[in-house]
Chain A
């Protein structure tokens, strides 16, 4: 997306094209332009993209196939009671759409993604396949030390794939690049919260999705252009209900669902879509000035991250849902949409704990399940419409 500055419509059209392109054409193009460059896919929720970048590997977020693909081979690999994401990922793989990728990384998000790493090894024995454990113990000398070993292994495996040597300078540069990207992602969320009509969730979502396939430098440019364009734009203020969406950290709802929520009168002013873009929310690179070891910096940034996630253990003394309630307050949200993929154990088991925290704090919420290929929007439109109306009518009471 280099070249002359685009209009906002062009920018969004390009992002939508990337979103719909299950063949990963942009990744193919990147490889053509970068002979010898490697591309490795990764599943939600979190992988250290800095390490991939430093190894000369383009990180490619694989979030399933949305509404667009008929699943045949993927269904033959899974039992009936399971979320949709692994089916469509297997379908993408077996249909050759992921052939451009030189490998896949499966982070320790849940048992489904964990076992998908094994399925991948069996189905694609010649491809690089990596299961990535992230620590659930957050003491630097315990979980941190383990994670450092994991990161170093990952780095050297990826370097072997790309034919490079691990180079601390390259990793420092990558950390700085991703910090810059995260800074603009934060700005985008801040703008959404301050003036949601300027950067509606359905637009912001496309912008963020582009970050799954574009090289980070380019994605940062896209974010900067979009922010510059919408800050200048005259756009009518709309008085919708300000809601925060939680539970969509892995399998993504279809774009039409996000649009449906907006049309029903809900401004999504914050969410947990694609947490990989926001984890390590503070600037990891700041620590580079005091600690020369970039792997340790990355590991400790992960340990110190304050994101609350269903996939991350909350140690004693930090009540579940406290972070959600704090975000609702900070963002001045009027309610919460608890969305979750059907059959998603982490999101659905987390939900009652979050809801009781919301109850205690007197925050309104509504809940539903979705799949990435949910087609029937009418019930969700009605539910969200009623929720928005309730907030608007009774919110101040």
Chain B
């Protein structure tokens, strides 16, 4: 592994985009722009942009707080105010941050929401989260109930239900808050931009099928999905960003380079791993290091599909603007049944020729975690590749036990190494 990390241009571009967005947010009330809080899974960014609103994603603020080591304090604040230690830590982190003045990742105060757009997709906790925020901000909630794909299919009645809610609940509330009429043509244009960016994102994610993989599809992947999963899908900036990223990744691949890490690129990948579950944010670097020190590259991950499963073929369709938004919401990863999730991971292991898979089970997230041990056994049975199971949390550092996780990963990698050399019979490290 080489010592010096060279920041690629796309990284700087993304940083600039985010900084500009937070700058707009900080000045929103001055400039009269309306602010809509919403969630990443099932986000209706193009629709929000069609009304010229500025999106805020509380989960992103929470993860940023985790990375900046502020989440522990925010969670403690929320628990002092009566929130249970047992519940989703994203919610508590957000509420604690709000109680401490709602200072966002760039150090500027976030504006209060004019509307809470409750895209109720893939997680029941979202509903409680925005009910709690509504009490604090006393602003309206637009509820968009997205049925669960319990059989792995979006049935026509589900799509129709979501479209009707867009027409009768979400759009009227956006119109009321912004004073603007719904412009379907503008929405189509934005959706057209989304498709271009989505094509390029999929190209980037699929580059990991090569050996060596030019990307890390989990630790690096969280950067790659950033613009598309948040405030930028549908914008020309996102189109440019993904084109630039694609070119960089293509160039890396052409030169046979491996993924970039905080300590330089991995050019001699040793293990190819698929990961299920979100990362831990409080110890993101430390966690990543446990992989790159072993030259383990994540070739595919499910977390990078929470805001849309584009690599399985979904693209926004500008010709059917509301239907396509409905299908998008229905298809987000955590809105899929367990069998479909197993199917996807099995597909990744095979298509990306992975040595094994890791489940990072998030203690306080039932949406992702309930059932992962059953998934683990099903995937092992189907693929014959060993899985590893660890528990951490998204933003509560009390639940990240570095030594335990490191020990478990080390034995897992040892087992994979033995398997590669054919010395030992394979057994699951779960």
Nearest-Cβ distance from residue A306 to partner chain B, whole angstroms: 17
Cα(A369)–Cα(B366), bound, Å: 18
B181 interface contact, C-beta 8 A? no
A353 engages B132 (CB within 8 Å): yes
B134 in complex: contacting residue of A114, A311, A316, CB < 8 Å: A316
Are B83 and A114 in contact, CB atoms less than 8 angstroms apart? Answer: no
> Which of these, A114, A146, A314, contacts B160 with CB under 8 Å?
A146
A355 to B125, CA, bound (A): 19
Q: Least Cβ distance of A274 to chain B in Å? A: 20
Q: How far is the CA of A86 from the CA of B134 in the complex (A)?
A: 31
Q: Is A366 an interface residue (CB 8 A)?
A: no
Q: For the complex, is B153 an interface residue (Cβ under 8 Å from A)?
A: no
User: CB of A123 within 8 A of chain B?
Assistant: yes
| Interface: B414 (CB within 8 A) | no
Asked if A137 and B125 sit within 8 Å, CB to CB, the answer is: no
User: Contact: B86 with A79, CB < 8 Å?
Assistant: no
Within 8 A of B (CB), among A292-350: 310-311, 313-316, 320, 340, 342-346, 348-350
| CB-defined contacts of B161 to chain A, threshold 8 Å | 135, 137, 142-143, 145-146
Q: Does B91 interact with chain A (Cβ within 8 Å)?
A: yes
Contact pattern, A 112-151, Cβ under 8 Å of B = 1, otherwise 0: 1011111101110000001101011101011101100110
A-facing residues in B157-192 (Cβ within 8 Å): 157-158, 160-161, 164-165, 168-169
A136 touches B143 (CB 8 A): yes
Residues on A with C-beta less than 8 A from B286 are none
Let me know if B373 and A78 touch, CB within 8 A. yes
> Does A81 interact with chain B (Cβ within 8 Å)?
yes
Whether a CB of chain A sits under 8 angstroms from the CB of B23 is no
Q: Are B366 and A110 in contact, CB atoms less than 8 angstroms apart?
A: yes
Contact B164 A343 (CB under 8 A): no
Complex CA gap A348/B89 in Å reads 12
Whether B150 lies near A82 (C-beta < 8 A) is no
In the bound complex, how far is the Cα of B131 from the Cα of A346, in angstroms?
A: 11
Q: Are A122 and B125 in contact (CB under 8 A)?
A: no
In the complex with contacts A115-B371, A122-B378, A149-B157, A131-B84 CB distance below 8 A: no
- For A130, the chain B residues whose CB sits under 8 A away are 150
A286 to B369, CA, bound (A): 43
- Decide yes or no whether A234 CB sits under 8 A from chain B: no
B86 touches A118 (CB 8 A): no
Bound CA span A80–B135, Å: 31
Residues of chain A within 8 A of B123, CB atoms compared: 111
Per the 8 Å Cβ criterion, residues 66-119 of A in contact with B are 76-82, 86, 108-112, 114-119
B390 to chain A, nearest CB (A): 10
Partner of A346, one of B128, B135, B141, B168: B128
Interface contact A345-B145, CB-CB below 8 Å? no
Q: Indicate whether B274 reaches chain A with its CB closer than 8 angstroms.
A: no
Interface string of A226-251 (1 = CB under 8 A from B): 00000000000000000000000000
Would you list which residues of chain B between 371 and 395 have a CB under 8 Å from chain A? Answer: 371-375, 378, 391
Residue of A nearest to B156 (CB): A149
In the bound assembly, the distance between CA atoms of A76 and B376 in angstroms comes to: 11
Q: Which residues of B contact A343 (CB under 8 A)?
A: 86
B82 at interface by CB-CB < 8 Å: yes
B85-129 near A? 1/0 per residue, CB < 8 Å? 011100100000000000000000000000000101001110111
Cα distance, A150 to B148, chains bound together (Å): 12
Q: Measured between alpha carbons, how far is A169 from B87 in the docked complex, in Å?
A: 45
Note all chain A residues with C-beta closer than 8 A to B81. 352
- Which of A116, A137, A145 is the one whose CB lies under 8 Å from B370? A116
Known: A76-B373, A116-B370, A122-B342. A345 touches B125 (CB 8 A): yes
* Bound Cα distance from A146 to B154, whole angstroms: 13
Complex CA distance for A345 and B369, rounded to whole angstroms: 13
Q: Give bound CA distance, A135 to B135, whole Å.
A: 23
Chain B residues positioned under 8 Å from A142 (CB to CB): 161, 164-165, 168-169
Taking CB atoms, residues of chain A closer than 8 Å to B88 are 345, 349
User: In whole angstroms, how far apart are the Cα atoms of A38 and B51 in the complex?
Assistant: 53
Q: Is the Cβ of B374 less than 8 Å from the Cβ of A117?
A: no
Residue of A nearest to B145 (CB): A136
Nearest-neighbour CB distance to chain A for B169, whole angstroms, equals 7
Please determine whether B145 and A79 come into contact, CB atoms closer than 8 angstroms.
no
Query: Among A77, A81, A146, A348, which residue has its beta carbon within 8 angstroms of that of B157?
Result: A146
Judged by a CB distance under 8 angstroms, whether B337 is at the interface is: yes
Chain B residues near A315 (CB, 8 Å)?
141, 143
Residues of B within 8 A of A118 (CB): 150, 337-339, 341, 371, 374
CB pair B125 A349 closer than 8 Å: yes
Whether A369 pairs with B86 at a CB distance below 8 angstroms is yes
Any chain B CB within 8 A of the CB of A25?
no
Nearest CB to that of B391 among chain A residues? A79
Min Cβ gap B131→A in Å is 6
Interface centre among B86, B127, B338 (most CB of A within 10 A): B86
Complex Cα distance, B367 from A108, in Å, reads 12
**Does B366 lie within 8 Å of A313, measured CB to CB?**
no
Could you tell me if B369 and A119 are in contact, using CB atoms closer than 8 angstroms?
Answer: no
Known: A131-B150, A345-B87, A349-B129. 5 other contacts (CB 8 A): A79-B372, A111-B366, A111-B367, A121-B338, A122-B339
Residues of B with Cβ closer than 8 Å to A?
Answer: 81-84, 86-88, 91, 118, 120, 123-125, 127-129, 131-132, 134-135, 140-141, 143, 145, 147-148, 150-151, 157-158, 160-161, 164-165, 168-169, 337-339, 341-342, 361, 363-364, 366-367, 369-375, 378, 391
Which residues of A are at the interface with B, using a C-beta cutoff of 8 A? 76-82, 86, 108-112, 114-119, 121-123, 130-131, 133, 135-137, 139, 141-143, 145-146, 149-150, 310-311, 313-316, 320, 340, 342-346, 348-353, 355-356, 369
Q: Could you write out 24 A-B pairs with CB less than 8 Å apart?
A: A80-B363, A82-B366, A111-B124, A112-B366, A115-B370, A115-B371, A117-B337, A122-B339, A122-B374, A131-B337, A137-B145, A146-B147, A146-B157, A146-B161, A149-B157, A150-B157, A314-B131, A315-B141, A320-B135, A345-B87, A345-B124, A349-B83, A351-B82, A352-B81
6 smallest A-B Cβ distances: which pairs? A118-B338, A131-B150, A349-B128, A146-B161, A136-B145, A115-B370
